[in-house]
Amino acid sequence: MSFVNQVLIVGLDGSGQSTLVKDLFGRGHHESHDGSVHKAIGLVTKYYSSEIDIWTDAYEKGSFDQWANEFLSEEAKPMRESLNGIIFTFDFEEELGEIDQVIGHLERITESLDELSGEEDYNGWSGFKAAVVSGIPEQSEFEGYDDLEYRFQLAGFELVNYACSARNEFGEKVGKERLREIFETCEWTQMESGSKDDSEEVSGEDIGQKPEDLDKVFQMALAARTQAAQVTNKEEKEKLVNAKLTEIMNIL
């Protein structure tokens, strides 16, 4: 099994796989052909630094079922085991008519990835799963967005509307910034502890929690949000939330 951090981005041919890599990490070109591999992409946060490899793949319109069957085959199991994250890119206008079929296959993919974690792990697969959709206006202009988001969540995928920017009404990041946040809060197989601010010292007397501890709590809460969004069973989601709350309380 590979111990390199790896993410797969796949979608309808021309649905923006390479654009995501370019927008998030400055690698490649917006017009790059899909099917490429972007190696050793640096990822640096306040808490760790790491390198990830990103593969892009594509399927022709109407052939997502064929792609999904190949991905779920026994021959592809080593590849599934090597992944830390998977992102599907969808063109809303092109694929709206096939959305039921697509979501059905995403459920199968979630089940397959959860099986890799073992029955004893109620959190399911530790990687992230996201569905990035383009061609939809802001949520406020599309009445069916909440229902669509819920259906993707039931399939184990967080829906990210790439047209959105800034934050939503709850102060949460959306669009490209939310996708970047998903990458930064992933529990990567390989990463080095440390931060961009390691050289800075906290001056003054400690009153309550240190700022870095509070930052860590915030980071853990973001990671818990990503994991909870991918758990569909209500009882399992409650177990996950309680476990994460216990971890946070141990820091406070």
pLDDT tens digits, 148-201: 889 999 999 999 988 888 788 888 898 999 999 999 999 898 888 865 554 443
DSSP state of 44: E
pLDDT of the residue at 10: 93
DSSP state of 193: E
Q: Is 229 exposed, middle or buried (0-12, 13-18, 19+ CB in 10 A)?
A: buried
Counting Cα atoms < 13 Å in the Cβ hemisphere of 18 gives: 13
Task: Give the model confidence (pLDDT) of 2-15 as tens digits.
Answer: 468 999 999 988 88
Q: Please state the φ and ψ torsions of residue 23, each to the nearest 5 degrees.
A: -65, -40
Q: Is 22 exposed, middle or buried (0-12, 13-18, 19+ CB in 10 A)?
A: middle
Q: What is the DSSP string of 150-182?
A: HHHHHTT-EEEETT--SB-TTS-B-HHHHHHHH
Task: Give the model confidence (pLDDT) of 39-78 as tens digits.
Answer: 889 999 888 899 999 999 999 888 999 999 999 999 999 9
* DSSP β-ladder status, 48-59 and 192-193: antiparallel
pLDDT of the residue at 95: 78
Distance CA 71, CA 67 (A): 6
Distance CA 244, CA 238 (A): 10
- The answer to whether 189 touches 84, Cβ cutoff 8 Å, is yes
- In this predicted structure, the answer to whether residue 122 has a pLDDT above a threshold of 60 is no
Q: Which of 162, 191, 175, 216 is nearest to 84 (CA)?
A: 191
Model-level pTM greater than 0.85?
no
Round the average pLDDT of the chain to a whole number and report it.
77
Quick one: residue 124, left, alpha or beta (phi over 0 = left, psi -120 to 50 = alpha)?
left
Q: Please state the φ and ψ torsions of residue 226, each to the nearest 5 degrees.
A: -65, -45
pLDDT band at 229 (very low <50, low <70, confident <90, very high): low
Task: Extract the tokens encoding 108.
Answer: 């199968």
Question: Check: CATH 2.60.40.420 for 5-198?
Answer: no
Q: Which of 41, 111, 120, 42 is nearest to 80 (CA)?
A: 111
Residue % of the chain over a pLDDT of 90: 33
Rg, Å, the chain Cα set: 19
Task: Extract the tokens encoding 190.
Answer: 């390989």
pLDDT band at 112 (very low <50, low <70, confident <90, very high): very high
Q: What's the mean pLDDT in 91-108?
A: 86
Residue % of the chain over a pLDDT of 70: 67
pLDDT of the residue at 208: 39
- The answer to whether 156 touches 232, Cβ cutoff 8 Å, is yes
Every domain of the chain and the residues it spans: 5-198
Distance CA 81, CA 213 (A): 33
